[in-house]
Structure 1
């Protein structure tokens, strides 16, 4: 067995933090919680219970966008290889993980108790597991009423958007990320995007199997099989890709593009919880209604 390197002393950890120019953690009200997973992070933020530490905060702000991350949350570095010294220094009393980070959990348990969630699994819709996670976090942190309120608000927002989209429910939607100018990644029924489409009363144009919520790479020619679908394009988009596609005869000949059915959405965490579901529903509804109005 490979021996793990020892953790630094508290004095050494403080020196590390100071050298990195990061703020020293302060005790927040209630249980001190850290997380290594973004779906947990956005859920904690939505429940107004920010963690003391979480990974890749700059990237989270760009990809997930919301909820806003307070300045006092310590950035633990990459999700797959978090900075254990900074995590130790944050003095969490509980660490939230997910099925994506099982391999890190033995080492995380050397710092604090670990509780893990599994929202995403092949062939399983993630919405109800996200609700269960939200409820569990609320109960664990003594904010059950706030968690139930957030769940109810999410259901109400999806129901209201479903009502607004009723006149357009017959048109299928295909949610994609561009890999390059010839390929894309598509999100199926076991993705949060796919399940939100169903809850909005819309059909996912992609009915084939996916691999763990999404499938890639798919050639752009696959869009020919879905000429009536709205293409919901979710960032990130490779630099220069849209400029190249704008000059592509094949791209512009696609019925989806020719008929004004390309929906360019803002960035959304593709493996998020209820906050990501709400953001996708809102951005999609806004783009779809705007496109339908422009098409007359």
Structure 2
């Protein structure tokens, strides 16, 4: 399940695609029976309640979203925002691609009973509005986003969020979380979680400073098989994972072209020879619908000669860390850096 970046002539254009996970088909039972309004379980959510009163939120397209009360019945169409809603101690009534979320995101578990509303980027609108939401949260990258245009035809408020910004990915992650907290009346909860994140980052930086690493250089990447060839996607400058690593005192040495939202690049096996002695770090989650890209890498003589591969510094993060997530996924990223490199 990958976010794919394509560069168009003259403009870095972002296209969000899904890879053989989920469906836009929804059963009649799911589409016709709205779920109750659940809340997340767990001790930390036991005392979390929503503020009361009217809500006015400016979303990432500059649109004003007005609610008589904080949103309680929320449908969410992208995984980062699903995670954020759960972290805020509110369970959405509808989510896009539940199966994919459960595969790729472990920071917040989605409770049973949530309606699957189809694909990310191509939701089933009948399922979305049969869930009887008082707010739909979607992810966009332009005002003419086709999904947003369809959603706006219905008499339900829509909060449009831009999930990432390579000019400041950590702050953007926090801003998205805070905006959702405002819409759901859970700003106090958001402040507490962001304090936890800042503490985790400070502690991780201290742990990394105490580690005796042969180099602080690194490149984090994922990849897939494209037409029989290995396509490698480095997380460069402006990526959330890359910037978290640098905040910990590491140096992200990928210097190739990246997109304006996620800081993602593209290269092949030969391109990785440019990173010198850097650690090579990668996702530990295996796409259930994809090929084993790492088995393919092992067959490459060029890959086997890379310094990190020869020195056993080609290392995997734990499974289930969503590299495009919110504060809780970001804390998992911090823990992974420390455990993998300094543990």
TM-score of the superposed pair, with normalisation by structure 2? 0.73
| Shift in alpha-carbon separation, 1:100–1:78, aligned structure 2, 3 A | farther
1:250-269 equivalent positions in 2, closer than 5 A: 250-265=302-317, 266-269=319-322
CA drift at 1:16: 5.3
1:1-296 equivalent positions in 2, closer than 5 A: 17-18=28-29, 24-28=34-38, 31-100=72-141, 102-109=145-152, 110-121=154-165, 123-166=166-209, 167-168=211-212, 170-180=215-225, 182-212=230-260, 213-234=262-283, 235-236=285-286, 238-265=290-317, 266-290=319-343
Distance in structure 1 (CA, Å) of the matches to 2:90 and 2:247: 27
Contact kept in structure 2, 1:23 and 1:72, CA below 8 Å: no
CA drift at 1:79: 0.8
Distance in structure 1 (CA, Å) of the matches to 2:115 and 2:298: 41
In structure 2, what is the equivalent of residue 294 of structure 1?
none
Per-residue deviation, residues 32-64 of structure 1 (Å, max 9, x unmatched): 111112111111111211111110111011112
CA drift at 1:233: 1.1
CA drift at 1:174: 0.3
Distance in structure 1 (CA, Å) of the matches to 2:198 and 2:33: 37
| Shift in alpha-carbon separation, 1:132–1:289, aligned structure 2, 3 A | same
3-state SS in 2 of match to 1:165: helix
CA drift at 1:145: 1.2
Distance in structure 1 (CA, Å) of the matches to 2:256 and 2:294: 26
Larger relative helix fraction:
1
- In the alignment of these two chains, the number of paired residues is 274
Distance in structure 1 (CA, Å) of the matches to 2:257 and 2:200: 29
Distance in structure 2 (CA, Å) of the matches to 1:168 and 1:22: 58
Distance in structure 2 (CA, Å) of the matches to 1:117 and 1:128: 14
CA drift at 1:125: 2.0
**How much is the aligned-residue C-alpha RMSD, in angstroms?**
2.4
Distance in structure 2 (CA, Å) of the matches to 1:22 and 1:184: 42
Contact kept in structure 2, 1:178 and 1:236, CA below 8 Å: no
| Shift in alpha-carbon separation, 1:28–1:183, aligned structure 2, 3 A | closer
Contact kept in structure 1, 2:38 and 2:90, CA below 8 Å: no
| Shift in alpha-carbon separation, 1:113–1:42, aligned structure 2, 3 A | same
3-state SS in 1 of match to 2:266: strand
CA drift at 1:179: 2.3
